[in-house]
Amino acid sequence: MQVDHRQVESVPPFVKALDLSLDDPLLQVVYDLYQTGDLEDWNVTCPTEQRMWLRFRRPQSTLPAQGWKLHLSADHLSAETVLRRVLPLLLAKTVAFKCTSSLLNLTKLNKGEGGESQIGKFLTIYPRSSEEAVEIAPLLDELTDGLSGPRIPSDRMLRPNSLVFYRYGGMNSEKWVQESNGQIWPALTTPDQRLIRDVRSLTYKAYAEWSDPFLAAGVASELPKSPRIIAQRYLLMSLISASVKHKIYLAVDLEEKHTCIIKALGHSWQQVLPVSEREDFYREACALRVLGSHSQIPTYFDLLEHDSDMYLVMSDVPGELLMQRMSKLTLTGAVPLSQVLTWASEVAELLLFIHEQGFVYADLKPTNLIIGSDEKLSLIDFELADRQGAPGQLLRGTRGYVSPQQYAAYPRHITDDIYSFGALLYFIVTGAESSNAPDPFHLLNRPLELFRADIPDRLKQIIVRCLQPEVAERYASFTEILTDLTLVEQIVPPAPSVPGLLDTVANELRARSIATDLLETLCAFAYQSEAGTEGLTWRSKHFLTNGYALRDLNAGHAGTLLALAGLAAELDRPEARNVLAQGAAYLQTMQPHSNPPLSGLYVGEAGVGTAFLFAGLVLNDSTLLEAAVERGRMIAAFPQTTLDLFHGSAGRLLFHLLLWDTTREQEHLDAAWVCGEHLIQTAQIRENGEVCWEMVGVEQSTEQGAYLGYAHGVAGIADALLDLFEATADTRLLPIIQGATRWLQRLAIPMFEDQSGLSWPMTERSSGPFHPFWCHGATGIGRFFLHVSRYDWAPEALTIAKRAAITVFQLTKHGSPVLCHGLAGSIEFLLDLYQETQEPLYLSQAQLFGRLLEAFATEQEGHLTFFSDRYDVSSPDYQVGYAGIAMSFLRLSAPERIPAQLSRAGFRAYKRQAEATAQLLKR
């Protein structure tokens, strides 16, 4: 029976919350129990923030903080039967549990959309004790025997082929642990009262602190090891790759005596393999049988089923993935146009062959192309390949490469491959990976010419035509594309390094408008955490926070508050000052997530104090300034365990200097000097007086050698010491700063054919340049050299900074939008150079980056936001979210005047502005 809840009066509240029709089989099962009164004594809820789940609890019942949890696996074929069989038992035992709220949500879960560790977790049961868990588990196993579902990677299976899994973990705990890198995790309390991370990994982890009661009671069985030999013929040698969908092995055919590739399911199935999984393997095998005669396509060998798993055996295609080659090339420059055309022609020829055999490939992307030893491209992974005109499959394909028609399950057509070909060329030409695009169906929102001024018009026209949303506007065949590729000019005269842009005033007004809109967003999205609590906060959605409320500057409340203060000081929005005051009030109530508290600038109490200091200056609030001072005194007493700017002594040093700049109290300068002295003592003096620091961060080892970058390495430490020298004029600092300068200068790597740019490795023992961002690469290191250039003892420093800027301009256009490792950070460095040199080139480049940054804009609840460093996350954070992006647009709105916010110059500028405002208010 199908019931539309909009036509029924007695509809459960949880169904109304879902706003779904009751024709979903899982909801129908629950609705039937509701109708019979079996749920009369139960609270059934579907939280609006977690619509994935239906939760079942008895009134007044409480969950244990932690314990042995049970999970029941199911797939879309078995889920209804599993639910009907086990619900009576769970209701009779009055045990709390939850299940997915619909078959669609279960399908998403099993595809890994909730994370790989969540695959298969159709039903979660929360026993009140280990004894109850041991009692219920075999009963559930008996009820679900013979049904199908994927194995749950994070849990232990009760017995072979069981749908019952278990693990020790949190149930109702509000405890968490913050690691020294800033990431926060749910926590478990050990028997000796220690807090440890509640691990949800891709393999089962047994905690030493809790013995397994299921094994002890004889309820659980020992599990067999995964087989090394399949069907007594194929020896698995090594795992090449693993994903939610598949595992790829290098194997040996023991009969034919040669290597081969074996493709298996990503997560093995219990009992019966679903028809859809079988069909995928049979379809791919069919395609390889027909197409494998081509020398650049794998040869089909075998297809077999073994222990509820399927294995597709094919020839090994040795070589390097195109994605890997592109990763190397984008670190050193753009792909030469001659190489672009060679690859384009090879791929077009391959796809033309596939189309001539009556197939559509349907999954063209750089991870499915291999460059062989002869530099020829081969296609691999024919999972989605199908006959032309075959029925489509909804949501199949790779984001950024799949055509709108294929994604919407239209019948397979060769124009799907033509669209994907355009997306592949877009990536090869620009270095901007199409699957990470802010809008996957409108790649050209970031125009090709903004990435490469030297792109030939004909090549641009080919890419644009391939990427047309409407089929009729694309090429009709690869024959046409190959013809047009032969007409692309092989030699293109170099274009000006900076294309003409809109006039400066228009750019500044545009940037101010975006900064203002983001300020309004921050005000609109501030919320009261709980009824009766003081102040307002923001919900960070970055993965570092794991859903918890963080206080930090990098990702968390302090960083959002810092940006809000900067925006409120510049933009005339009275409501912003009110939200700023309430945000500061809430920060005062937030407690550290680690014991003892972390002390760093970007992660820890120095960052919290910095936010108080800036908010206090903007609001002219002595209470907030005193809160900042108290943080300074507190961390001055902490041990100095790490050295870098992000987590350690260098960041603490800068915070103490900001306090001294603001208050002129000697205690803060003394505290800064203590940090500086520690950095002097821990410096390693190398040959020729070069200086570096090893083991500066939280996850480093001596095997890696010293880190070079600004956030986590030598550049940031030396820059903080240079700030201290400017405050104290203490010449003991100079040999250390000068030695670090020489060390970084020696490790610089010339870039591009003309050697005009400079880049740096991540560590002194790394091979080749690292991504030129703020955290580890040329953006941050260039900032240090720009600072050093003010002194005559470093005559080459400005040239080095400018050469770093060449690399930043050429190689970070395809980056994410954020400050830490993206476009916003590049904008900040280019504006620093412009303010220091007054050369218009750097302003023009910063404005161009601003145009690229705008492509990441999105909307939430009618307000402007920006994507974070992931295309599916928009978060109000400073280093990794749109709060920091707002500050970059603010600087673009007044590029002559506004300095980098998180710097001594930035704080001094806002202090002067705050003092001037205070004087006006007194009149």
- Does residue 299 lie in a domain region? yes
Is pLDDT at 575 greater than 70 in this prediction?
A: yes
Question: At a CB cut-off of 8 Å and minimum separation 6, what does 233 contact?
Answer: 253, 254, 255
**Nearest alpha-carbon partner for 807 in 749, 754, 759, 746:** 759
Write down the pLDDT at residue 577.
Answer: 96
**Do 57 and 165 reside in the same domain of the chain?**
yes
Judge residue 812's burial from the number of C-beta atoms within 10 Å of its C-beta, 0-12 exposed, 13-18 middle, 19 or more buried.
buried
SS3 of residue 185 by DSSP: strand
- Does residue 470 lie in a domain region? yes
> Rounded CA gap, 824 and 844, in Å?
15
Write down the pLDDT at residue 496.
Answer: 47
> Rounded CA gap, 359 and 353, in Å?
9
Question: Position of tokens 């298969």?
Answer: 120
**Do 424 and 293 reside in the same domain of the chain?**
no
Q: What is the pLDDT of residues 656-705, one digit of tens each?
A: 999 999 999 999 999 999 999 999 999 999 888 999 998 766 555 556 78
**Higher-scoring residue by pLDDT: 707, 20:** 707
For the chain, the distance separating the N- and C-terminal CA atoms, rounded to the nearest angstrom, is 76
**Do 158 and 41 reside in the same domain of the chain?**
yes
**Do 468 and 361 reside in the same domain of the chain?**
yes
> Rounded CA gap, 751 and 810, in Å?
10
- Does residue 677 lie in a domain region? no
> Rounded CA gap, 660 and 568, in Å?
23
**Do 384 and 455 reside in the same domain of the chain?**
yes
- Does residue 146 lie in a domain region? yes
Q: What is the pLDDT of residues 352-381, one digit of tens each?
A: 999 999 999 999 999 999 999 999 999 999
Q: Which of 260-269, 286-295, 535-544, 727-736 has the lowest mean pLDDT?
A: 260-269
- Does residue 282 lie in a domain region? yes
Is pLDDT at 727 greater than 90 in this prediction?
A: yes
Query: Which residues does residue 312 pair with via DSSP β-bridges, in sequence order?
Result: 263, 303
**Do 297 and 187 reside in the same domain of the chain?**
no
Residue 575: how many CB atoms within 10 A of its CB?
A: 12
> Rounded CA gap, 644 and 787, in Å?
18
Is pLDDT at 7 greater than 60 in this prediction?
A: no
* Confidence category of residue 396, pLDDT binned at 50, 70, 90: confident
Query: Final residue of a domain: which of 217, 246, 264?
Result: 217
Coarse DSSP helix, strand, coil percentages of the chain, rounded to the nearest 5 percent: 45, 15, 40
* Confidence category of residue 922, pLDDT binned at 50, 70, 90: low
DSSP letter string, 215-256: HHTT-S-PPPPPPSEETTTEEEEEEEEE-SSEEEEEEEETTT
> Rounded CA gap, 376 and 380, in Å?
13
Q: Kindly state the average pLDDT of the residues 741-764.
A: 96
Tokens matching residue 445: 């929102």
Write down the pLDDT at residue 853.
Answer: 97
Residue 194: how many CB atoms within 10 A of its CB?
A: 11
- H or E stretch at 615: helix 605-619
- Does residue 798 lie in a domain region? yes
Q: Does 820 count as an annotated binding residue?
A: yes
Q: What is the pLDDT of residues 873-893, one digit of tens each?
A: 999 999 999 999 999 999 999
> Rounded CA gap, 29 and 99, in Å?
12
Q: What percent of the chain has pLDDT over 90?
A: 71
**Do 311 and 329 reside in the same domain of the chain?**
no
Q: Kindly state the average pLDDT of the residues 454-482.
A: 96
Kindly report the CATH number assigned to the domain that includes residue 155.
Answer: 3.30.2430
**Do 26 and 158 reside in the same domain of the chain?**
yes
**Do 152 and 238 reside in the same domain of the chain?**
no
Query: Directed axis angle between helix 414-430 and helix 478-485, to 10°?
Result: 30
**Do 376 and 483 reside in the same domain of the chain?**
yes
Is pLDDT at 494 greater than 70 in this prediction?
A: no
Number of domains in the chain: 4
Q: Kindly state the average pLDDT of the residues 320-332.
A: 93
Is pLDDT at 5 greater than 50 in this prediction?
A: no
Note the maximum CA span of the chain: 95
Q: Kindly state the average pLDDT of the residues 184-212.
A: 89
Q: What percent of the chain has pLDDT over 70?
A: 93
- Does residue 255 lie in a domain region? yes
Query: Final residue of a domain: which of 769, 804, 839?
Result: 804
Q: Does 775 count as an annotated binding residue?
A: yes
Phi, then psi, of 830 in degrees rounded to 5 = -65, -35
Over the chain, what is the mean pLDDT?
91
Task: Specify whether the CB–CB gap between 654 and 720 falls below 8 A.
Answer: yes
**Nearest alpha-carbon partner for 365 in 423, 302, 432:** 423
Write down the pLDDT at residue 6.
Answer: 45
**Do 212 and 233 reside in the same domain of the chain?**
no
Query: Final residue of a domain: which of 171, 187, 217?
Result: 217
DSSP 5: G
Write down the pLDDT at residue 107.
Answer: 86
Q: What is the pLDDT of residues 61-85, one digit of tens each?
A: 888 999 999 999 999 889 999 999 9
Write down the pLDDT at residue 271.
Answer: 53
Q: What is the pLDDT of residues 783-793, one digit of tens each?
A: 999 999 999 99
**Do 89 and 184 reside in the same domain of the chain?**
yes
Q: What is the extent of the structural domain holding 386?
A: 325-489
- Does residue 88 lie in a domain region? yes
Q: Does 692 count as an annotated binding residue?
A: no
